[in-house]
Chains A and B, each alone.
Chain A
Amino acid sequence: MSVPVSKSETTGKPAVSGKKNSTSHAIAVIGNPNTGKSTLFNALAGMNAQVGNYPGVTVEKKVGRFRHEGREIQLIDLPGTYSLSPRTADEMVSVRVLLGTQKKAEPIDGVICIVDATHLDRNLYLFSQILDLGIPAILVLNMWDEVLKRDIAIDVQELENRLGVKVVPTSARKGIGLDKLKSEIVSLVENCSNADFVPPKLFPDSFREAKEQLQVEVEKRTGHPLPHYLAERLLLDVHGETEREVLQEDQSLNSFIANLRTELASKDCPIPAIEPRVRYQWVKQTLDGLVTKPDQGLRTKKDTLDQWLTHRFWGPVFFAAIMFLMFQAIYSWAGPLMEAIESLQGLAADFVLGIMAPGALRSLIIDGLIGGVGSVVVFLPQIAILFLFIAILEDCGYMSRAAYIMDRLMTRVGLSGKSFVPLMSSYACAIPGIMATRTIEDRKDRFVTILVAPLMSCSARLPVYLLMINAFIPNDSLFGTWIKTQAIVLFIFYILGAVVAVPIAWLLKKTWFKGEPAPFVMELPSFKLPSIRVVFDRVYDRSKAFVMRAGTLIFLTTVIVWAAGYFPGDHQKLDQVDAQLESGTIEEGSPEYEQLEEQRRVLAASLLNESFLGRTGHAIEPVVRPLGWDWRIGVGVLASFPAREVIVGTLGTIYSLGGDVDEEDPQLRDRLKSARHSNGEPVFNIPVALSVMVFFALCAQCGATLMVMRRETNSWKWPIFSFTYMTTLAYVGALLTYQIGMLFIKG
């Protein structure tokens, strides 16, 4: 039924056949970068993918599910790649998953290969390797909407005939062809429609003979057979991962392989050049007469746009303008939403006050939960706006243009434009940022990027900045009404980390990671209008992660901080005063009421002083005093080492417990404004606020980032190094900020 392009190769047995009758089947998803693979994955499997790791490597294991026509299909997402020629252990994972030999991955029933339909010729290179594996496959021609828009004609039916596999045109962004694809996947697993399919014969006879010789030899020496595809890789990938693994088992195979390669070279079959030669030859044959493209006159508008955006002068200007717009938006758009959340927070506190008598539980709910977690959630609108900007920039293709603009700067410190996208994503969160460094092939560049990534101002710092700026930086207008001083201060703090990263990266490249800038190739995806669905999905995903953290980690920390601040101590007297205040018998504003309130403040403050938290705080006060902090800030900062956004919650709890404010006004910024030292001086002034912000800008207060760093560098050395250098930097930076700031105030 299938008509392969050329004669079949008998050795290529399908790796998997219709093995099971169960209703769940696994399908691998693979494709070149920039083919819309993850958009398609999300469109098929929804947003509920499980994410994990394969053991021993840094490859993310992403599994999604969908049901169609009574079948449950598991989709296993593989990293975007141009080829299946594993050069590293990470790249080997995809090959192993496809061969069904990867640990912690179940055998697959088939594979769908996503290609950019507008660039079929290049994308089919990977597909030809997949055919070599002999697995049931479907070819997905994604970006079909672009094909139609550009008047490209592709004879899908004939392509199907020539390839011998199903070909499905889709547009993941527009939701076109998804049902058809699901049906084809179901019928692929049901019928194993290409179980009798045999891969096209690509390589010349001499190569196949050498490969078979190699298979025999490897089995003889190591005692286990080498799959046909890996034998091919072993011959083709000089110093590749297959070679490394085989030689680890038997070093003496080295000369055998070398001899085979030399022999092949003499038979006009040079390694590795033979591979692209035969594969592209096959691609050319397969596509011959099937694709007609009109003259490329349509691209001029995008080209002009590109000319401006990558311009030597206007490119950076535009980039800076976009960044500034982002910070302005964070301020001006989020206001109403924040007020809504704040008033909800107030309502909730009032409600609890109304129905509960004073006591430990009420204190936990109001001071711990509402005061702690609530003060972090308030910042969700601003964080969502930040995520929105980043998602739009990523989706429309601007991010990689920015990488080009920044390359000149990056090469000055010894890195390349490739480090830019990971660093830019670190502005949302250092964790995906560090994981994005996997696209940097050069190990030295990658490590330096990982080590400076946590300096970028991630979204968890935003609450701290916003809190301090809102409370202590006057909101004057500059240059007319549009630009606000608060936005400028925020902007400065956002670039502070990046500015500090420059000398750090330069130093690292001069010392441990010496080397020339590595050769690199990076594809710039073409400009497109951002898809509302893709952008929304990303913002939703990341915001959800933020709220989940607030709900779990921050909640836990605030409860611990609350407990440490509440115990030990006899709260009976305080509860009595509270009950009296709330009973309504004493008129608000009367001298008696004021007296009670004062008594409450004194009681609360002394209870906090004697609590575990208070004792710890006073013990560390000498260390934080030079930074201008009081013991409460010190404790808050200490508690926020596992996750920096905790500071807002812990400060909320600490200042609420301390009874600095009346409970009608639960807003943290007002509590901070009214906080006093024991001598009556305000705790916070502008230098103190700036010192706190500088500390948070530079400090490595994120357990999760350090864990990811360990995983990605496979060593504890680098997270420990990062933690040490960043904490030192933070302390010195905060010290200088406060001391210099105070000179201005006194002077």
Chain B
Amino acid sequence: MSCGLSVVPVECLQRGESGTIVDISGDDRTVHRLHEMGIRCGCQITLKRNDSPILVNIDGRDLLLRCGQAAMILVSVGTTTPLIS
């Protein structure tokens, strides 16, 4: 149905799907830590494996991530195909 840009938590990406981080919300300390490690808005993020923890590639670097309840990374995906057919 919907086309264009959609924003989803990183865990909800498809395997191999990429997007841009648009928001990181959650508890200040965790978010600050993520920022320091270079995980921040504007980064290109690709989901490589969606187990827990998820394996992502952020700007060319592989990271294991499990934010749990502490933080949520929101990603905007430029979908060109309809989400629901």
Do A and B share a complex? yes
Residues of A within 8 A of B (CB): 82-83, 85, 87, 118-119, 121-122, 125, 238-239, 272-273, 275-276, 280, 296, 299, 306-307, 310, 312, 400, 403-404, 407-408, 411, 416-417, 516-524, 526
Can you name 23 A-B residue pairings with CB atoms under 8 Å? Answer: A119-B59, A122-B59, A122-B61, A272-B28, A272-B32, A273-B35, A275-B35, A276-B32, A280-B35, A280-B40, A403-B64, A404-B49, A404-B64, A407-B51, A407-B64, A416-B66, A518-B68, A519-B67, A520-B66, A522-B63, A523-B37, A526-B61, A526-B62
What is the interface size of chain B, counting residues whose CB is below 8 A from a CB of the partner? 32
- Give the residues from 2 to 48 in chain B that come closer than 8 angstroms, CB to CB, to chain A: 28-40, 48
CA distance A118 to B82 in the complex (A): 37
Bound CA span A280–B71, Å: 20
With A122-B38, A276-B36 known to touch, is A519 a contact of B30 (CB < 8 Å)? Answer: yes
- Decide: A125 and B36 in contact? CB cutoff 8 A: yes
The 8 Å CB contact of A521, one of B29, B32, B60, B65, is B65
Whether the pair B36, A299 counts as a contact (CB closer than 8 A) is: no
Query: Is B79 engaged at the interface, CB distance under 8 Å to the other chain?
Result: no
B78 at the A interface (CB under 8 A) = no
A296: chain B residues at CB < 8 Å are: 60
CB of A589 to closest CB in B, whole Å:
69
Instruction: Give chain B residues whose Cβ lies under 8 Å from the Cβ of A524.
Output: 55, 61-64
A698→B66 CA distance, assembly (Å): 33
Which B residue sits closest to A270, measured CB to CB? B28
- Residues on B with C-beta less than 8 A from A307 are 48
Min CB distance A281 to B, Å, is 11
Asked whether, in the complex, the Cβ of A416 is within 8 Å of the Cβ of B53, the reply is yes
List the A residue with the shortest CB-CB distance to B46: A303
What is the count of residue pairs linking A and B with beta-carbon distances less than 8 angstroms? 103
| A397 (CB) vs chain B CBs: closest residue | B62
Inter-subunit contact A276/B35 (CB<8 Å): yes
When C-beta atoms are compared, the residue in chain B nearest to A276 turns out to be B35
Q: A119 near B61 (CB under 8 angstroms)?
A: yes
CB neighbours (8 Å) of B70 from chain A are 519
Given A407-B64, A416-B66, A521 contacting B28 (CB threshold 8 A): no
Seed contacts A121-B59, A306-B48, A521-B63; 12 additional CB < 8 Å A-B pairs: A82-B36, A119-B60, A122-B38, A122-B59, A296-B60, A400-B64, A407-B53, A416-B53, A417-B53, A519-B67, A522-B63, A523-B63
Chain B, residue nearest A122 (CB) = B38
DSSP majority for the A interface?
A: mixed
Asked, given contacts A296-B60, A417-B53, whether A125 binds B48 with beta carbons under 8 Å apart, the answer is no
A238 cross-chain contacts in B, Cβ below 8 A = 28-29
Q: Which of A239, A272, A519 sits near B71, CB closer than 8 Å?
A: A519
Give the distance to chain A from B25, nearest Cβ to Cβ, in Å.
11
Task: Give Cα distance in the complex from A521 to B67, angstroms.
Answer: 8
Interface centre among B34, B49, B51, B62 (most CB of A within 10 A): B62
Residue contact B29 to A275, C-beta cutoff 8 Å: no
Q: Give the chain B neighbours of A121 by CB distance below 8 A.
A: 38, 59
CB distance from A83 to the nearest CB of B (A): 4
A519 with B66: CB separation less than 8 A = yes
Contact B38–A125 (Cβ < 8 Å):
yes
User: A85-B32, A517-B68, A519-B67 are contacts. A408–B62 as well, Cβ < 8 Å?
Assistant: no
Give every chain B residue within 8 A of A411 (Cβ-Cβ).
52
Contact A517-B59, Cβ < 8 Å, known A306-B48, A417-B53: no
Q: A310-B49, A411-B52 are in contact. Are A522 and B64 (CB under 8 A)?
A: yes
In the complex, chain B residues whose CB is within 8 Å of the CB of A517: 66, 68
B31 / chain A contacts, CB cutoff of 8 Å: 273
With A and B bound together, what is the CA distance between A296 and B65 in angstroms? 23
The CA of A416 and the CA of B65, in the complex, are separated in Å by: 11
What's the minimum C-beta distance from B74 to chain A, rounded to whole angstroms? Answer: 15
How many whole Å from A445's CB to the nearest CB in chain B? 12
